[in-house]
Amino acid sequence: MKKDLPVGVFDSGLGGLTVVKTMKKMLKGESIIYLGDTARLPYGTKSSESIVRFSFDNTKFLLKKKVKAIIVACNTSSATSLKKLKEKFDIPIFGVIEPGSKQAADSTKNGKIGVIGTTATIRSKSYQKALKSIDGKFRIFAKACPLFVPLIEEGWTDEKTTYDVAEIYLSQMRKEDIDTLILGCTHYPLIKHVIQKTMGDKVKLIDSGESVALWLKNYLKKFNLLANNPNPFYHYYLTDYPQRFKKIAERFLGEKIDFIEKIKLGD
C-alpha cells in the first residue's frame, strides 16, 4: 500500500539528520530513506546551477527507492531548487524555508528576526522573501555562516573554536535586538547550544527541520498516507563515506545505525 512506502529525505551531509531525528519522534510509524550527498558537500558555497543539478540527482535516487514523499532537508537546496523540483517531479516534495519562516513569524513579538545560513541560502534571499510575504513590516537581519558546516561535519560541536567562530559571526546580530533567530541550515541544530549561548537565552531559535516534519505529518494525515508500521526501517545512503560520519550521526541520533551504504548517483 502506498502509505507503507518510506519517506525520502536528502541533504548534502549530516544536516538532514536533524530532520530525521524529529521525524522519528513525530512520525513513529514511518520508514525513512536518507541520502547524504557527502561527496559533493558543502553545497552552500557552490553556484545555484550546481546545487540544482545535485538536487535533481538526489531526487531521482530517492524516486528509484520508491518513496511516497520527499523532504529536501537542506536549506541550500530548498532555496535554489525546490520550485524546479516540484515542477519536474510528480511527487509531494517539501522544503524547509516556508515552514521555518511561518514558525518564526508565529514566534516573534517585536518583529525583528535573524536568519543564518549558508552563503547560497542567504544570497538567494529566500527567507527574507518568505518572511516579508507573511508580514511586510518584519525587520530581517541575515548573515551567512559558512564555517559552521565544516566544523559540524568534523564533529567539532563543543570545541572552543566553534564558540569563537560563532562569536565572530553573531556578535553584530546580538546587537540588533532580534527576538527570533532562524537556523536556516539543517546542520546548525547540531550546534544549537553554541548558538543559543552566543545569542543569549532571550532569543528563540527556530529549527526549520522541526517545522517541516510537522508539515509532512499534516500532509500525510490529510491524504490518509500516514504509515503505522510497528517496525519502520531507516536506511542511510551516502555518496562518500567519511570515517567519522557514522560515529557523529549515531551520537546525534542517540542510537545505532544498522544500515548505511555508499552509493554512486546516476547508477
Catalytic residues: 74, 185
Instruction: For residue 21, give the nearest of 162, 169, 212, 206 by alpha carbon.
Output: 212
The contact mask relative to ligand DGL for 59-98 (x = CB under 6 A, - = no) is ---------------xxx----------------------
CA distance 237 to 36: 6
Residue from 10, 43, 245, 252 binding ligand DGL (CB under 6 A):
43
Q: Does 153 bind ligand DGL (CB under 6 A)?
A: no
Q: Give the N- to C-terminal CA distance of the chain in Å, as an integer.
A: 26
Stretch (H or E) spanning 206: strand 204-207
Residue among 6, 7, 11, 178 that touches ligand DGL (CB under 6 A) = 11
Task: Specify the residue, 11 or 30, whose C-beta has the smaller distance to ligand DGL.
Answer: 11
For helices 192-199 and 160-175, angle between their N-to-C axes, nearest 10 degrees: 40
> Which of 36, 44, 99, 114 touches ligand DGL (CB under 6 A)?
44
| Radius of gyration, alpha carbons of the chain | 17
Of residues 172-211, those binding ligand DGL (CB under 6 A): 185-187
Among 101, 118, 211, 239, binds ligand DGL (CB under 6 A): 118
Q: Whose Cβ is closer to ligand DGL: residue 156's or residue 226's?
A: 156
Which range, of 81-89, 116-124, 172-180, 222-230, touches ligand DGL by CB under 6 A?
Answer: 116-124
Cβ contact 245:238 at 8 Å: yes
User: Nearest distance from residue 15's CB to ligand DGL, in Å?
Assistant: 3
Instruction: Give me 86's grid cell.
Output: 516540484
Identify which range of 11-19, 21-29, 155-163, 253-261 contacts ligand DGL by CB under 6 A.
11-19
Q: Which of 65, 27, 36, 63 is nearest to 186 (CA)?
A: 36
Chain centre distance of CA 260: 20
- Exposure string over 153-187, b if 16+ CB within 10 A, otherwise e: bebbbeeeebbebbeebbeebeeeebbbbbbbbbb
Q: Which is nearer to ligand DGL, 74 or 170 (CB)?
A: 74
* Short-list 227, 244, 246, CA closest to 236: 246
CA 126, chain centre distance (Å): 14
CB nearer to ligand DGL: pick between 118 and 211: 118
Residue number with CB closer to ligand DGL (3 or 192): 192
For residue 42, state whether it binds ligand DGL (rule: CB under 6 A): yes
Q: Does 102 bind ligand DGL (CB under 6 A)?
A: no
Residues making contact with ligand DGL (CB under 6 A): 11-13, 15, 41-44, 74-76, 117-118, 121, 149, 185-187
